[in-house]
Amino acid sequence: MLSILKIQLGNKELVILQNSIKRIEHEYFSMKDNHSLSTIRSELHIIITKLFRIKSQGTEVNCEKKYLKEFIAFQNLVENQVSQNTKVQNFATEMGISTKKLNTVTKAIIHKSAKEFIDEICTKQIKRLLTNTNFSIKEIAYQMSFEETTNFYKYFKRQTSYTPEQFRASR
């Protein structure tokens, strides 16, 4: 199972990483020459190395903000279980809190409902599968626990305004 690491970035670290990401975007969208792939790899290597440096310095998530600890627990659950579960009630039950409290937590931290957050993570997972695998749409729907492919199509179209095929073709 994939282990997810959470670190909190200060403003200085965030600006440095954002600048690296801007350089990657510039290279990808503007340069497109024989050296672009190497440059992008190097920038990604720098980002990963800087994140490991920050982690090794013992920087931990500051849980002083109200509900941050609960939100991180919720985020971890969603990231690990979204392919089997997209119901707010199930996550709230697993966390031992009410759906109302879970919505209060997510609204306080990210200004979205718990369902909006779950759908966002689910959609990102589907996009990854469409972009990075050759699985059929039906296989992806099954992997994401959609019993009917038509429901998968409707869900993805509602979230992205694209059908899964349109999204895959655009990448």
Residue type, 97: I
Same domain, 32 and 102: no
Asked whether residue 6 is domain-assigned, the answer is no
| Confidence band, pLDDT 50/70/90 cuts, at residue 36 | confident
Range of the domain at 169: 61-171
Distance CA 5, CA 13 (A): 16
Tally the domains of the chain. 2
Query: Sign (positive/negative) of CA torsion 43, 168, 86, 88?
Result: positive
What pLDDT does residue 55 have?
77
Same domain, 86 and 157: yes
Same domain, 65 and 108: yes
Share of the chain above pLDDT 70, in %: 92
Are the C-beta atoms of 158 and 115 separated by less than 8 Å?
no
Distance CA 109, CA 92 (A): 16
Q: Helices 149-160 and 114-132, interaxial angle, to 10°?
A: 110
Are the C-beta atoms of 128 and 113 separated by less than 8 Å?
no
Tokens representing residue 50 in the block: 């800087």
Question: What's 124's domain CATH number?
Answer: 1.10.10.60
Asked whether residue 144 is domain-assigned, the answer is yes
34 phi and psi, to 5 degrees?
-65, -15
Indicate if the pLDDT at residue 3 is higher than 50: no
Same domain, 107 and 150: yes
| Confidence band, pLDDT 50/70/90 cuts, at residue 6 | low
DSSP 28: I
Distance CA 116, CA 122 (A): 10
Same domain, 78 and 137: yes
Asked whether residue 27 is domain-assigned, the answer is yes
Residues 6+ apart with CB under 8 A from 167: 127, 130, 156, 160
Same domain, 137 and 99: yes
Same domain, 105 and 150: yes
46-60, 92-106, 114-128: lowest mean pLDDT where? 46-60
For the segment 45-96, what is each residue's pLDDT rounded down to a tens digit? 999 888 888 877 765 555 557 888 899 999 999 999 999 999 999 999 999 9
Asked whether residue 66 is domain-assigned, the answer is yes
Same domain, 26 and 45: yes
